[in-house]
Structure 1
Amino acid sequence: MRYTAALIRSILFWILFVIMSSISSIGAVVSLPISHHATRWFVRMWAIFHRLICRFVLGHKIVVEGEMPDIPVLYVFKHEGAFETIEQPMLFQWPAVFAKEQLLSIPVWGQAARFYGLIPVDRDGGGKAMRAMLSAARAALAGDRPLVLFAEGTRVPHGEAPPLRSGFAGIYRMLGVPVIPVAVNSGLVYPPRRWVKWPGTITYRIGETIPAGLPREEAEGRVWRAINALNPPEALLAGMPKAEK
């Protein structure tokens, strides 16, 4: 019975989400020659609509523990599902999100994302790609936009705590800005790569701001612990970085 209810909710959720995603993507691209503000508005409405159908269709309650100031710093989020990626244009006015280069090749949506200002991450692009990424990140910071990075590199099921990707250390060192880590447990009810979603509570827990300029091991350890703060204790013990033992 519980599964049947979740299945019905999920079917309605996906129908509404696909319709709104199509409208928002087309609207964002069509409005580009007219106004970039209109493009940003369509993207923000897409994220707000997603939050609404998560709440009223899927039965999610969203809890935020702490504050996420809309300032030019580097946010590092735990990545348990698509939920927290879609939420970004609603959590911040105009975030600059690091995203896989492949996502920007999606028809229509990719065009809107590129003009919105997502920062492409090309892991195989070498030094040239890294320089372009850092240049885009610095331009975003100069425009008072927060940077958003999913430092694990891919969606991770709830309860798993893999090490941060090596790219985080380079971005942290070369940008020289504070880091605000954010734990999220979306995988409990919005599991990665699963079609059926479940009712329940999704929590954001904002960690202590980590200053710029710390040694790599200390910065990585503090970020890793903070973004995994909502994981079971045994998951933290199993995945704890060697340098932190």
Structure 2
Amino acid sequence: MAQLDQVPSLNIRIRSLLFFVLYNLAGIFHSFLCVLIGPFLPFKTRYRFVNLWTREAMWLLRVLNGVHIRVEGRQHLPQGAAVIIANHQSSWETFYLQLLISPQATVLKRELLWLPFFGWGLALLRPIKIDRSKGSAALKSVLRQGKEKLSTDIPVVIYPEGTRQAPGHLGKFNHGGAMLACQNRVPVIAISHNSGDCWPARSWLRFPGTITLRISEPMATENKTAKEISAQAQQWIEQHYPGNTPVKTVN
């Protein structure tokens, strides 16, 4: 597990810095290509093209930083409309899930689309953008935009904690994703992972190790409330958390 309270070795610092530089340079270059070419590509082709940078990032992470990825339950990945509920520890899962579930619509705060380079490419993926400061209006936006995506068999990915948590911690889940699934009668799939052990939030350091990502069987939403589904997904994530740190729920 990554220990930010301990002094990282010089080797880890050098490799992390190299990753940071190459990852951002590749992102800047690829974003320009996406802006120039992406709008003229069919959506599914555009999606794969934009995520070439994500594939490069995962390759760099493995080669430079010794971060390996293990996926358990791949057979449960959706083949059509579904709502994916995952815990949130770093930027890693927002990248990797784009490759694992393709195409998808990710629920994200609209400010991310304003970021130079990164935001430009992200906008081409047609995410579900919300203004989190508007409370109930943000929920309505998730339900409206999410329904549109699900009606075209595109899975919706949501991080119900809303903000990144430290390894071994789960924030309070909002019920927006579960409500979307219940209203549209599509299954929920829960995902539990320990990305923060290798890619800590708000840090440029990258630590060697294995990120394990576990995928649940589809959870039926018929005759269940959003609160029940949300609790079921949270319980599954807690019970199947792959990190070394015992899970604590943060209210």
Q: TM-score range by the shorter chain?
A: 0.7 to 0.9
TM-score, with length taken from structure 2? 0.85
1:230 maps to amino acid = Y
User: Does residue 235 of structure 2 align to residue 225 of structure 1?
Assistant: yes
* Residue of structure 2 in register with 1:138 after alignment: 147
2:29 aligned with 1:23: yes
Question: 2:168 touches 2:243 (CA, 8 Å); kept in 1?
Answer: yes
**Map of 1:210 onto structure 2:** 219
Instruction: Give SS of 1:161's match.
Output: strand
Matched position secondary structure for 2:133: coil
C-alpha separation between the residues in 1 aligned to 2:244 and 2:65? 28
Q: Secondary structure at the match of 1:116?
A: coil
Q: In the alignment, is the contact (CA less than 8 A) between 1:151 and 1:164 conserved in 2? A: yes
1:96 touches 1:140 (CA, 8 Å); kept in 2? yes
Shift of 1:93: 2.1
Secondary structure of 2:161's match?
Answer: coil
* Closer/same/farther in 2, CA of residues 225 and 49 from structure 1, 3 Å limit: same
2:58 to 51, 61, 65: 51
After superposition, the C-alpha distances for 1:43-101 in whole angstroms (9 at most, x for unaligned) are 22011111111111110111011112342200111111110001122112211011111
Listed as ranges, the matches of 1:63-78 within 5 Å are 63-67=70-74, 68-78=77-87
Q: Distance in 2 between matches of 1:145 and 1:173?
A: 16
When residues 71 and 207 of structure 1 are mapped into structure 2, their CA distance, relative to the original with a 3 A threshold, is same
After superposition, the CA RMSD in angstroms is 2.4
Which of 194, 205, 211 aligns to 1:196? It is 205
Instruction: Please tell me whether the aligned partners of residues 157 and 192 of structure 1 are also in contact (alpha carbons under 8 angstroms).
Output: yes
Structure 2: 5+ residue runs without aligned partners?
Answer: 1-6
Identity %: 28
Deviation, structure 1 residue 128: 4.9
Work out the CA distance in 2 between the residues paired with 1:111 and 1:2.
33
Unmatched segments (≥5 aa) in structure 1: none
Alpha carbons 1:70, 1:93 under 8 Å: kept: no
Alignment of 1:1-245 (within 5 A): 3-37=9-43, 39-67=46-74, 68-125=77-134, 128-213=137-222, 214-228=224-238, 229-230=240-241, 235-236=246-247, 238-239=248-249
| Alpha-carbon offset, residue 22 of structure 1 | 0.9
**CA–CA distance in 1 between the matches of 2:210 and 2:245?**
21
The CA deviation at 1:2 is 5.9
How much has 1:211 moved relative to structure 2? 0.9
Give per-residue Cα distances to partners, 1:143-162, cap 9 Å, x unaligned. 22111111111111111122
Number of residue pairs aligned between Structure 1 and Structure 2: 240
Q: Secondary structure at the match of 2:47?
A: helix
Cα distance, 1:231 vs. partner?
5.7
Contact 1:161 1:235 in 2 (8 A): no
CA contact (8 A) 2:139 2:176 kept: no
